[in-house]
Structure formats: C-alpha cells, structure tokens
Structure 1
Amino acid sequence: MFEKAWNHLMEDGIRIMGLYGMNGVGKTTLFKKINNKFAEIADRFDVVIWVVVSQGTKTSKLQDDIAKQLHLCGEDTEEWENKYESEKASDIYKVLKGKRFVLMLDDIWEKVNLEAIGVPFPTRENGCKVAFTTRSRDVCGSMGDHEPIEVTLEWNKAWELFQNKVGDKTLSPDIVENAKMVAKKCRGLPLALNVIGETMSAKTTVQEWDHAVDVLTRSAAEFSNMDNKILPILKFSYDSLVDEHIKSCLLYCALFPEDEKISKEKLIGYWICEGFLGEDDLDRKRAMNKGYEILGTLIRSHLLMEEANTYAVVMPDVVREMALWIASDFGKKKEAFVVQAKVGLHEIPKAKDWGAVTRMSLMKNKIEEITFSSECCELTTLFLQNNNRLRNLSGEFIRSMQKLVVLDLSFNNALNEIPEEISELASLQYLDLSFTRIEQLPVGFHELKKLTHLNLTYTDRLCSISEISKLLSLRILKLMYSKVHGDVSLVKELQLLEHLQVLEITISTESGLELISGDQRLANCITGLVIQDFRQKPFNMSLLVSMVNLREFRVVRSNISEINISDLQNPTRPCFTNLSSVFISNCKGVKDLTWILLFAPNLISLCIDFSEDVKEIINKEKATNLRGISTPFLKLKTLDLLCLPKLESIYWSPLPFPYLKRIEVGDCPKLRKLPLNATSVPRLEEFVIVMDPLEHETELEWEDQDTKIRFLPSFDRVNHFS
C-alpha cells in the first residue's frame, strides 16, 4: 500500500492525492510513512508541511499551524494571531508562491479551501503537491482527486494479523472457525484486529469464543444506526478490561486533543486526584506504580500507543471516539463530557445543561475570558491549559464548580490573577498554575484543605507563597523556576507540611541549601532541584547526597569555579541512582562535569549550553582516579551541547551508547571528535546527529573509516525553512 501511494504521489501529473478509508484502517500511519519518505529526497522540495486538520478545525487554526512551520510567527505569536484571516493568507502566500512545497493534510472532514488559507494551488508549473487523508470519498472529489486511493486491508492479511495477535497456542482447531468470524467483525481495520486479538489471546475455550461472536453480533445489531461501525467492536475490548478503575483511566484520556502526546506522569497525577487508583492514592510512589501498571495494560491492549521516547502516550483517534461515545452514555448524554480541545475557540462553548457536565476540556484554544455564571455543579475536571490569551476568570464561574477536583490552568501566559473564589472549592485536589504570570496567590488560598497537588513551575512573577504550611493535605509541590526560591523562611514553612512527598524547588543561597539538605525528610521529597544565581566557589556535591530521590538537577546563571565531590565518604559507588536529567546553562567557571556524570548511572538526558569555560564533559585524570565506577552514559538517550566555545572533548575514547537517540552539537568550534566507534549505537535507525552549522560535520575526526561510514547517514539533513 505504501509503495502504491508513494509512487502515485510522485508521478509528474499528480498534484493532489487523497487517501480515504474507515477510521482505524491505518490512513495516518501510511501518511506518516509518506511524510518521513520526503526526508530522503529533501533536495526535491523546499519544504514539507504537515498539518492535522480534524473535525471542526477553523481556517485560522490551519493558518496558525502552517505559519509555525514556515517560521512566520516568530517569538511574538500574539502579533500573528491578532491578524485577520485574509492577512494571514497573504503572508503565507507570499512565502509559498516561490517555493516547491508539499502540503500534507491529515484527517480532513470537508473541502479545505486552499486559497482561503493562502496556499497556492499545486500545478505542473510550480511543481507543488497536496496530499490528504479523509474518511469520505466524496471529500476526495471536492478536493479535486476523482481517483483517490482507498486504504484497506485484504482478508488474508487481516487474518494473518489477527492470528499473530491471538497466538498459535490459543487457536486450536475447534476455535479457528469462531476466530475467523471474530476477525471478520473487525472489518479489516488493523487497530480493531490488534485490540480484539489481544483481548481474545487468553480465551482458550470454545464457549468463550462463542460468547465473543454472540456479543459482537448483538452489538453490531444494537448500534446498527451508527455511522462508525467499529465503535461497538472496540467496546467489546473495553468491556473486557478487568477493573472499573482501568476503564475510568482510559475514558479520561479522551479529554485530550486528537493525536496529543500525553505525559504519562501528568496523566497519572490526574488519575490519582480523581480517585481512580483507589486506596493507593495516599502513597505517591505506590499510586504512581499502579498508574504505570494501568498504562501498561492499556498499551498492551492497543487502546493507547506509547511514544518512542516512552514518556508519553497517544490515544488512537478511533479509540478516542469510542471513549467519548461511552463517556456520553452511548450518545444519550453528550454533555457529560464536553471536549472541544484544540479547535480554535475564542469563547467558552454553549451547553444546554451545564449542570450535567462532569468533565470539560477546552485546552489549547484562544479563549480570552470566562465570565458566565451558569451552575457547573457536577464538574470534577476542568482543562483550560494552553489558552495563551486567557486573562480573566470570573469569580462566579469558579464558585459554581463546588465538586471540582482537577483544575489545570497551566501555560496561560496572559493570566496574572486567580479569583479569590477559588478558596471556596472545598473538593479541589489538583491545581496547576505553571507557566502563568500570577503575581500572588489569592486571599484565602490556604483554605484549600484537600489540595494535594500544586504546580507553580515557571511562575516567574510569583513573589511569595506565605502560609503554604496551612495546606495540610499537600503532597506534591512544584516550584522550579518560580520567583519563590528556597530561602530559610520558605524551608521552615515546608518543614511543617507533614504529608509532603514530592518537592521541586529552586535554591539560590547556600544557607537554604544546607537547611533543606540537612532535613532528611524534606531531602527525601526532592525530585527536582535548580541551583540558580549561586556564587559559591567551589560547589560541593556532597550537599545533595541526602536527596536520594533526585531525578532532575539544573544549574543555571551561576559562577562556580568547580563542582566537586571531595566530602563524600565513599566516592567509589554511585550516589545519585535516580538522577535522570542534568541541565547546565549560563555557568561560568565550570570546566568539566566529571563530578556528577560518573555518579549518575541512570542518566537519560544531558544538556549543557552557554557555559563559556566548559572544556571537557568528563576529565580523564579525575575519572581514572575513581575506582569501581561503571562506564558513563549507558542509559543516555539525548545529549545536547550548545554554545560551548572551549569544549574540546566529551570523553577520551569511544563509548557504548545502547539507548542513545540524539546527539546535538551547536556552536562548539573546538569539538572535533564524538566518542563513537562502529559499535557504539546498536539501533542506528532510531539515531540522529544534529550539527549546527551542518558544515561542521566535514571537519569531524572519526575513530576509523568504518565509524565514519556507519554514522554519516545519521546526520540530520532536513532543510530548516527560513
């Protein structure tokens, strides 16, 4: 199917290509393969633009997505967003008219007016192409493709896929005929075949398979009037989930936009506060482990997909449709779940009965204010994050949500004030105000007696969180890059939070660091630490050894002659076994990072930038004096080295990088060699080297010719559009 679609699109006479088929048949998967293929022929086109359209997407939203990829927005996105659609169209047209482009539109529901967006019509003369996916052949015709390609899976391939998923041990001779009947109910859709196949893989008796055929047949009849025939089929897999909590967790994922990469950790945090994880809610570590177990179940069931970086999951579109269908009581109570995420809203949508709404997601829109005062008496979750024009929330609106448990207002960088009425939300457990411009917490904030999770990350205008110690239920407090730093007075307040389990904090004084590291209970809570504006010379890492759960460590804007480990009693064993991320930025005096890397065997991400004195990442003399330390970087996935004018060496010899996905080097003129040999990176198909400027690639020294031949294809040659 891929070869057919690719070859068709590359024909000289083809300017517009449509791929159509049922939801879940694999259109987007095929489309992504085509998109990735363009990277191999980057010299043929000036730019390839990928846009997810989805139902109800407005013209302005399409223009915004295209503009971002053309770098038309710049840093001031508000200036772009305030333009009229006609002005945006003119700007886009001016950039594209002289370019040979490919526009990829995924999941369109109706004709897309290219002229209104500002996209020149593809012709033989300009050499441009437009490709799209849709569920409807009629839409293909309206777009100008009267011979579109239908994406299907032939029966023999569908049966083979189903057999592989169920397994030979289950498919005994007396089950095969029933198995074929079940497979045919999946209508040739790969997702359904995977989902139902996984569900049936443990069913080993004829009676269980008889039951499956019966249920699937009755479901098809019961919901015969539905446009999407696959939802009742997928519901069988949903019904087979063993626990009601797991079902609730799955339905919750439908609150996010289509194709959204959902952070696993953040998702589990929502689940915990919603009470989906039962009695484990009280113990953070146990609850997180249970949450990850549920995610594993849903991923193995193909109801969620795991992102390549493993930190996030994506809900397949058709599973999301099923979840919204079930959450609305099979369409009977559509206002139970109000989900209008990432659709370009400028105001809150209308609802017939706000009192029936239990969960609402309006994230990633352009809502500027919410002033209405309707009663949202049953609402438990409200997602308003990423509405970067949101400036005003009325107190009446806040007061009406007396059952609200989860409120996410993050990434609203125009929001500088929270109504005092928030203190009346007696049920509120989860509040995320990160990346907002709030200057103070509202009066009465300490009355939120049930609040367990408070995120104030990157609230760089928030000066004080006095009386934080009165939040008696608080278990998670995130303050990294807040203007509130961990000075002595704050640390003393934190010591009064008896139930605190997770703390992320910025510290800028030695006294504050000594106080917090000397309190073992508080030190155990720290998972994220930013050392900022330090002037201590040298900085001793022994102050951090008590922080046994430290996962993320950052040093920024500091002047430190050296960072050492001199006071450690036993410097031959790793001290920071949970540390997974290190970020060093704008630091003077630091010449190497031997101090931390050799003591962090599970490091996943390392980024060093704008640090003018860094000469080497690991110093050979220091490292060889440390006995019993394992090879560094064995878990490393990403290495970013940017604007390091004196950097000459990462490591003095080649290293194994079993999990490495990316090395990015920019403005490091003295770095001539990467610590690689021909066996360093086993999975080369997942690995990329980004060099800036790209010409620096030709100046690199290689361990040998085999190493050079192996890694040259890994250099990122994607043309950055400018």
Structure 2
Amino acid sequence: MDFVSSFAASISRDLVCGAVDELRYPCCFHDLVEGLEHEDKMLVDTKKRVQEHVHHQKRQLKKTDELMHKWLNQANNLSNDVDNLLTETRTNKIYCFGKCPNLFWRYRLGKKLVKNKGDVKKCIGEGSKYMQFERLASLPGLRYFSPERCLKFESTQSAYDQLMQALNDDTVNMVGMYGMPGCGKTTLAMEVGRKAKEEGLFGEVVFVPVSSVVEIQRIQEKIASWLQFDFPQKEEIQRAQCLDKFIGENHENVLLILDDVWHRLDFEAIGIPSFKNHRGCKVLITTRSEAVCSLNDCQKKIRLKTIELEEAWKLFQTQAQITEDTSNALKKLAQEISDKCEGLLVAIVAIANTLKGKGEADWKVASDNLKRCKPVIIEGGLQNPYKILRVSYDNLDPVEQSLFLLCSVFPEDFEIPVEDLIRIAIGVGLVEEVVTFEGARNKVIVAKDKLLSFSLLLDAVGVNCVKMHDLVRDVARWIARNDGKAIECVMENNANLVDSTPIRYLWCKQFPVELDCSSIEFLCIKTDTEVSEGIFKGIASLRVLILCWEGHQRREFSTMSLKSLTDLHSLFLSGWELFDISFVGDMKKLESLTLHNCSLPELIDVLVTQVPNLRLLDLSGCEMEGNPFEVTGKHPRIEELYINDDRPEWDLEDEDPPEFFSKFSVPQPLERYQIRLGKYFSKYQQKCLSHGRTLFLSCFDTSNVAVRNLATKAEILYIANIRGDVKSIIPGIFQIEGGGGGMNHGWIELLIKKSENIVHLVDTGKHLNEVGSLCPSCAS
C-alpha cells in the first residue's frame, strides 16, 4: 500500500511540475521574449567576431576551416528564424474586446521561444571556439611636441605642403625627406602619415625605423606587425615573397614610412612591392643626406630645414615659460642659449625644458658652461647642439644623469621596455639606499618621467616603451666617453673594440675579442652564435648580465661559467636550456633573477638558503619540473614574482582542485606579481602586463588561503572553474572589510569563466548597504 501511495504521489508531483512548466509559456511570455532577444544580440556579436577571424585568416594567406564556414551558415539561418519569430511576437495577438491576451497564441509561441533560445545558446557555444580574441590596436605617433605647433614654422609648413603634394601625385611612388638630425623629420613624417590616412589617401600607413645597421628581418617584422600579418616562414627570402604578396593582395593603398635611412635599401629583399607590380604602395624615407634619397631612387626629394632664429626664439620662450614678466637679464641669457641651438628642435626643446622654472643663477651657470664647453669635433655642423645637450645633461640630478647615460647603450631607434630599464637601472646601482625594491622602482620611474618631460627621452610606439632620438643618444655616448667610461653598442658579429677608454656599459651580438673587461658593469649579449664560457672570468665588476639566445630553438648553456660573477646584482637569461641553477648560490648580492623562455630543473632551496637578497624572481615562459611555489613561498625577501605556467597540472581535470594547489604558497613580503597558471587565459594576458598585480587561474581553489589572498589584492583577476562550497564571489570567497565597504585593493578588471556553481557576483541580500566602493571600476 505504501508503494502504491508513493507511486501516486510521484505521478501527482510530476503532473503538477509539468503543468507549472507548461504554464510558464503564456504567463512568462514577455520574459521569454526578452530572453531570446538577449541571446540573439550575443549571437550577432559572436558572428561578427567569427567573421573577423575569417577575414584575419584570409589576410594571413591561410585557408580557413570549413567547419567555420559551416557554422556561419548555420548561425545565419538561425538568426533569420529568430528574427521571424520575434517579429511574430510583436503582433500582440489579443481577443475578448481587446481586454485579454490570447493565451493559446502565447502558449504556442512561448514553446518556440524556449526552443530557439536553447538553439541559440548552443550555437554561441560552438561559435566561441572560432572567435578572434586578439586584436592589434592602432599605434600612437612619436612626437617631441604637438604637430600643430610644428606646422607653425614656415620652413616646416613648406616641407609639409610638398610632402602632401607628392603623396597625392600618382606618378610619384618614392619620396625622400632629408635634413640635419634633430630638425624634426620623424615628427613631420608621422604627422604627414596621420593626415594622409585621415583624408583617405591610404588605407594603411606603416612606420618603421631603419637606422644605420640595416636588419632586414627586423624591418620585415615591423611591417608585418603594423599590417597584422603573421609570417608562416622563417627565412628572409620566403618572408619577402610572402610580404610582397600579402601587401599586393590585401592592400590597395599603403604608405610605408621608413625612418632614419642611411644606405641604399634592397626593397625586394625586404618584401616591399615595386612600383610596377603594385602602384598603390608608396614609400617615404627620411634621412640625413640628400645622397641617400638619390641612392634609393626617390622621384621627389624634399629638404626639411632647421627653423629660423626668430622662430626658434618663440619656441624657446614657450618651452621655457619665458613671459613678459621675466627679467630682462634672464631673457638675454635665454636668447643667447636659444641662438646656440641653431634651429634644431631637439636641442631647443631639451635645453628649454631643463631650465624651465629655474632662477637667474641657474641660467647664468648654464650659459657659462656652454661658453666653457670643450671644442667638439663633430661632422655635419653639430658642434653647438652637442654643447647644448651637454648643458641639458649638467642640469639633471645624479639619478637622472645616470639613467640618461644608461639609455644610450640600447641600439639606435630601439624601443626600450620600461620594465627592463627599471630592472637594469636598479641592478647597476643607479638608485642607492632604498629599503625596498618597490621604492627603488619608483625612483627610477620618477627619473624616467623627468627625462621624458625634458624630451631627452621619448614615448615610443610600443606599449610602455621609451626611446632616444639618435642625436641625443650620440651626445650621451660622447658625454660618457669624455667622462672616462665609454658606452658601446656593437650590432655586428665578430666586431673588435680597440680603444683605450674603459667601457662601462656594453651591448653586443658577440663578445668582442681582446677587450679589457675589468670596468664593465652592464653587459648585454643577444646572439644566435656560440657564446664562449670563458668570457665571464675577467668581468669581476659586472653587476648586470643579460644573455639572450635568439635562435629558433633553445640552446644548451653551462651555467657553471657564471659562478665567477659574485658581484652580480641582476641576471637575465632567455632562450636557454639550463640543467643546473645551483650556480646562483655563489651570487650573494643577487637581487633580481629573470629567466625567460628557458627550460630548467625544479627550483631548489638554494634560492632560499644561499641567495638572501633576492627581491625579484621572473620565470615567465619557462618549462620547469615540480611546483615552483614550494620554494618561492619560503623565501623571506621576494617582493616581486612573475610566473606563467601552462602545465596541465594547474588545470581542472576532475571535480577536485589540482594537487599542485595543496603546496601553493607565496613569499610574505610579496607586493607585485603577474601570475598565470594554466592555459585558459593565455590569450588575455598581454593586454594586462602594465599592471602591477595580475592573477590568471584556470582553476580557482577557494580553500587555499594563499591563492585567495593573491586574488584579493589583484588589480586584474581572471578566474575559471571555481571549486568550493560557494554560491557568490562576495562574500562567498572574498569578504567585505568591516565598516569600510571595500577590499584591500579594488579590482580594475574581474573576469569569471566556466563556474556554473556561482549564482551571484555579490550577494546583495545581506550586504546591499556594504557594497559601496567595493569594485568601482570593475568589469565582469
């Protein structure tokens, strides 16, 4: 009898539930319509992004997946069905004198709405794997000052008008602009390119620095980057053919600006289409010499003159903030200094900015220094600009001077990542007597910002990068040589440096033979040739070493050769296969250890026990054994930690969190970190590198206190596969701090994926009044 009762109850329950489920079609009709409209908008967005991916694949000269086209057809058909259904729902069928809704009509359409919504959600899920996640943003221009101010000069306006006329002339495909270094060629070229694209003369405008050492592969990569093209080939010849074909087939009108050209260029070897093969591709080169324009067969040659003394004086007054209220004595000093700049924009802007806001005594000292400055033997009539920039240097404080000289070791037109510059500067001892690494970092940033404000450094095209004008760089190296310690950058292989001046900083592709190494403090070797292990024995004073293998595959390297570098403060190794890292145990002064794209054995406790001063550890892109957090968590002083680990051990394999999380710990002093564990968010990471605290977790174990603390302090937090008995992010995982209505640090961006168990971002039922400023700028 109990069985019969239980069976009857079960049948009744199913009937009631079924009836209730059926009633939702007419009773929740408007909600069902809104639900389908929302999913339809998401499907439209997904289709758009898949179509962008198809377009991108075609631009790369690659075949697109047939399944992708099949999905697009299915999605288009489904969109049409949804549009027809939504149109039918808007007819608003009624009966009974217009007073009551037609329930049968709503019931019939309601079932269709639910079915279509399910079909659309399934279609979106299938299409998401074809979506294009990464898109290159347009790149900013490189300027000393606004183009509006630049074009106020008569000489500059004349060159600008001639350039625009040449770009509009269909019979001209090669244009050359020449003039003295520092007269504003790069600024004007960028402005002309911007204006030409704005007016629709060209579909694409590409800007590539060339420099005195022509590196074809680098030029090819720069062009491809601007055009969002990925090379399938590695050899220069194959790349050239591919680039030529790509530009010819995908771009009807391209303006290619090649900046700072010194020699005749082999356009065919680079992959730049010839005028005969592709009439829509124009080239504008900037150079110091009219002869270089002729060598490159420029049909139109335009000279950019230095500005007139009267124009220079007006600019100088603006930059130095000299007004009518300024004393006549100071105005006279300023006029003398302005005339010495000889109309070169880079010199005017630099000296005016370094003297801006200073008293008359400082101006007198600058003027006296300029008069007493030793004669300069420089070709091209640049004696006075060299002296001017020397005086600008003298007006800097010691930290700014040191950073200025350090920047000149990088190759010509090199875009210097600010993060690399900070680590090198701290390593060479540019900042002293700072208790924390963060404090030293801030001092370098302040000095860098000062140099930018003085126009002795420039914002580069690359994100969070700076660069030096080639004239300013030459002056910096001239200053270093005159002060007794040379700064050298040798980009050729097998180069010899024969000079009696001791070398302080050296950047090279291959270590020069027979070189006195006793005074070198910073050494960077970026090479694809053999590195002799014996070169490190004679560099006892070395404080910073960067050793990068630039071949296609990792190269074996014996780290034992580094054991003699006991004074090293910063070490950067990239692209090497390392079998032993115990050598760091001899580096008692090591503060920064960066290993990029290396394969290495598991971290060992020598990092904890024998490298007590280590403040920064960067293992980005490394393949390693074991769990690095077992070691790093024990270190007493690590303040900055950077780890990208794609191993499946960090991903979710079953319902339980990965075993790696059970041994996850981080150093207590940790203040700055960029950590990605698992592959799920690998495509998102690049855009977030400028932030100090980022965390990307393919699996988030809420029971691990260390992981939860990192997530709480993060500025950028991306998490997936949340595991734990929680239904909300706040306060289920993260707690609202008492009374304040906020966290330790507000999230700038929060992204949550693949966590179906999470019902609420914030459980407002109990904490509505406390949410407040919890995440003021958060996007979820």
TM-score by length of 2: 0.65
- Secondary structure at the aligned position of 1:393 is classed as coil
Aligned partner of 1:338 in structure 2 is 488
Aligned partner of 1:453 in structure 2 is 592
Counterparts of 1:554-565 in structure 2, within 5 Å, are 564-565=729-730
Q: 1:121/1:502 Cα in 2 relative to 1: closer, same or farther (>3 Å)?
A: closer
Q: 1:161/1:462 Cα in 2 relative to 1: closer, same or farther (>3 Å)?
A: farther
Matched, 1:141 2:294: yes
Matched, 1:467 2:606: yes
74, 77, 85: which one aligns with 2:231: 74
Give the Cα–Cα distance (whole angstroms) in 2 for the partners of residues 95 and 308 of structure 1.
23
Deviations 1:356-414 (A, max 9, x none): 4332113xxxx5x77968663332212234x4x45x43221233333221112357463
Q: Which moved more, 1:195-204 or 1:316-325?
A: 195-204
Q: 1:329/1:145 Cα in 2 relative to 1: closer, same or farther (>3 Å)?
A: farther
Offset of residue 108 of structure 1: 1.0
Give the Cα–Cα distance (whole angstroms) in 2 for the partners of residues 371 and 177 of structure 1.
49
CA contact (8 A) 1:16 1:129 kept: yes
Aligned partner of 2:345 in structure 1 is 190
Offset of residue 9 of structure 1: 2.2
Hey, which of these two has a bigger chunk of helix by percent?
A: 2
Offset of residue 46 of structure 1: 5.7
Aligned partner of 2:507 in structure 1 is 361
Offset of residue 189 of structure 1: 1.9
- Secondary structure at the aligned position of 2:386 is classed as helix
Aligned partner of 1:714 in structure 2 is none
Offset of residue 215 of structure 1: 3.3
Offset of residue 312 of structure 1: 3.1
Give the Cα–Cα distance (whole angstroms) in 2 for the partners of residues 154 and 300 of structure 1.
24
Give the Cα–Cα distance (whole angstroms) in 1 for the partners of residues 412 and 766 of structure 2.
48
One-letter identity of the residue aligned with 1:451: L
Give the Cα–Cα distance (whole angstroms) in 2 for the partners of residues 7 and 28 of structure 1.
18
Which protein shows a greater Rg? 2
Counterparts of 1:669-684 in structure 2, within 5 Å, are none
189, 197, 212: which one aligns with 1:55: 212
258, 261, 285: which one aligns with 2:412: 258
669, 682, 702: which one aligns with 1:539: 702
Give the Cα–Cα distance (whole angstroms) in 2 for the partners of residues 130 and 33 of structure 1.
15
742, 757, 763: which one aligns with 1:574: 742
Aligned partner of 1:32 in structure 2 is 190
Aligned partner of 1:658 in structure 2 is none
Aligned partner of 1:589 in structure 2 is 755
Q: 1:260/1:592 Cα in 2 relative to 1: closer, same or farther (>3 Å)?
A: farther
Give the Cα–Cα distance (whole angstroms) in 1 for the partners of residues 640 and 531 of structure 2.
29
Give the Cα–Cα distance (whole angstroms) in 1 for the partners of residues 521 and 497 of structure 2.
16
Matched, 1:441 2:552: no
One-letter identity of the residue aligned with 1:415: R
CA contact (8 A) 1:463 1:483 kept: no
- Secondary structure at the aligned position of 1:358 is classed as strand
CA contact (8 A) 2:616 2:641 kept: yes
Offset of residue 234 of structure 1: 0.7
Counterparts of 1:230-629 in structure 2, within 5 Å, are 230-243=385-398, 245-280=399-434, 282-306=435-459, 311-329=464-482, 336-341=486-491, 345=492, 347-352=493-498, 356-362=502-508, 376-385=517-526, 387=527, 389=528, 392-410=530-548, 412=550, 414-419=553-558, 420-434=560-574, 436-442=575-581, 444-459=583-598, 462-469=601-608, 470-484=610-624, 487=627, 491=629, 493-494=631-632, 496-505=634-643, 508=650, 522=668, 524-525=670-671, 527-532=673-678, 539=702, 543-544=706-707, 546-547=709-710, 550-551=713-714, 564-565=729-730, 566-570=732-736, 573-577=741-745, 588-589=754-755, 625=768, 627-629=770-772
Q: 1:442/1:125 Cα in 2 relative to 1: closer, same or farther (>3 Å)?
A: closer
One-letter identity of the residue aligned with 1:577: H
One-letter identity of the residue aligned with 2:591: T
Deviations 1:456-483 (A, max 9, x none): 3554655444532222221211235544
Q: 1:215/1:123 Cα in 2 relative to 1: closer, same or farther (>3 Å)?
A: farther
Give the Cα–Cα distance (whole angstroms) in 2 for the partners of residues 570 and 47 of structure 1.
50
Q: 1:157/1:376 Cα in 2 relative to 1: closer, same or farther (>3 Å)?
A: same
One-letter identity of the residue aligned with 1:166: A
One-letter identity of the residue aligned with 2:498: K
- Secondary structure at the aligned position of 2:770 is classed as coil
Counterparts of 1:85-164 in structure 2, within 5 Å, are 89-96=240-247, 100-115=253-268, 117-122=270-275, 126-142=279-295, 143-145=297-299, 147-164=301-318
Give the Cα–Cα distance (whole angstroms) in 1 for the partners of residues 394 and 447 of structure 2.
15
CA contact (8 A) 1:234 1:322 kept: yes
**Structure 2: gaps of 5 or more residues:** 1-156, 651-656, 680-696
* CA root-mean-square deviation: 4.1
Q: 1:48/1:493 Cα in 2 relative to 1: closer, same or farther (>3 Å)?
A: closer
Aligned partner of 1:667 in structure 2 is none
CA contact (8 A) 1:373 1:396 kept: no
Aligned partner of 1:711 in structure 2 is none
Deviations 1:622-651 (A, max 9, x none): 9994734338564x8xxxxxxxxxxxxx67
CA contact (8 A) 2:407 2:468 kept: yes
Aligned partner of 1:174 in structure 2 is 329
CA contact (8 A) 2:712 2:743 kept: no
- Secondary structure at the aligned position of 2:557 is classed as coil
Give the Cα–Cα distance (whole angstroms) in 1 for the partners of residues 759 and 374 of structure 2.
62
Aligned partner of 1:646 in structure 2 is none
343, 351, 359: which one aligns with 1:204: 359
Give the Cα–Cα distance (whole angstroms) in 2 for the partners of residues 37 and 624 of structure 1.
53
Give the Cα–Cα distance (whole angstroms) in 2 for the partners of residues 279 and 220 of structure 1.
35
CA contact (8 A) 1:528 1:553 kept: no
Aligned partner of 1:613 in structure 2 is none
Give the Cα–Cα distance (whole angstroms) in 2 for the partners of residues 8 and 458 of structure 1.
46
Deviations 1:498-552 (A, max 9, x none): 33332334684777657655x7x62645623334387867636965454499556
Q: 1:623/1:351 Cα in 2 relative to 1: closer, same or farther (>3 Å)?
A: farther
One-letter identity of the residue aligned with 2:540: Q
One-letter identity of the residue aligned with 1:339: C
Q: 1:526/1:544 Cα in 2 relative to 1: closer, same or farther (>3 Å)?
A: farther
Aligned partner of 1:692 in structure 2 is none
Number of aligned pairs?
582
Offset of residue 272 of structure 1: 1.4
- Secondary structure at the aligned position of 1:574 is classed as coil
Deviations 1:234-255 (A, max 9, x none): 1110012232x32121100112
Deviations 1:261-284 (A, max 9, x none): 32333312211111111222x421
Q: 1:590/1:20 Cα in 2 relative to 1: closer, same or farther (>3 Å)?
A: farther
TM-score by length of 1: 0.69
228, 244, 263: which one aligns with 2:382: 228
CA contact (8 A) 1:324 1:337 kept: yes
Offset of residue 564 of structure 1: 2.6
Aligned partner of 2:174 in structure 1 is 16
Give the Cα–Cα distance (whole angstroms) in 1 for the partners of residues 512 and 329 of structure 2.
64
